Amino acid sequence: MTDLSGKRVAFVATDGFEDSELTSPWQAVTDAGATAVLIAPKSGSIKGKNGHTQSVDAVTADVDADDFHALVLPGGVVNADHLRMDESAVGFARAFFEQQKPVAAICHAAWTLIEAKVVDGRTLTSYPSLQTDLRNAGATWVDEEVVVEDGLVTSRTPDDLPAFNAKVVEEIAEGRHSAQSA
């Protein structure tokens, strides 16, 4: 098993996240020894679309990518739609690309990456309804369970979580990716 001891992984989400797309990768990185930190636009707690509630550790306006080794963006339509409108969340996500750190996005989370202007020229996947948005932002969209490109891990739906989680842990273990850029 890959050891992520000493690694801090930021999870950015808000109300309406897809429950399993937060809880499953969270479990994968913590099982590998990482510290997972939940970051949201507001303090308190957030609630998933299927009822999972989780306490917020920090707010997007107060965090710095320098303090983390990787970023995970869970999906969920409402979650992703609200996050892409949060300038702090978008800037935080972009900073991981600028620092060449691993980023993972599943389902509708690619909306935040579009808003951060980091998908142009990249190949990735997402929930199928985002393919036109991604293509319009300059990305090549493919229908695959998991796509990895220079530290960016993307998947389509909760059905892809086993493959997604394995690649998330692998990319975090590898660390910075020199080809990762904003």
Main-chain phi, psi angles of 64, to 5 degrees: -135, 130
Which candidate, 38, 31, 69, 23, places its Cα nearest to that of 161?
A: 23
For 31, the 3-state DSSP assignment is: helix
The C-alpha atoms of residue 36 and residue 180 are separated, in whole angstroms, by: 22
Crossing angle between the packed helical segments 19-31 and 161-174, to the nearest 10 degrees: 40
The H or E element containing residue 95 is helix 87-98
Active site residue 82: no
> Both tokens of residue 153?
């891990």
Q: Can 52 be counted among the known catalytic residues?
A: no
Integer Cα distance of 159 and 163 in angstroms: 9
Question: Which one from 69, 82, 108, 177 is the annotated catalytic residue?
Answer: 108
Tokens coding 182: 């904003």
Residue 43 token pair: 């303090």
Q: Which residues pair with 53 in a beta bridge?
A: 47
Catalytic choice (69, 82, 107, 177): 107
Give Dmax over CA atoms of the chain in angstroms. 39
Catalytic residues: 107-108
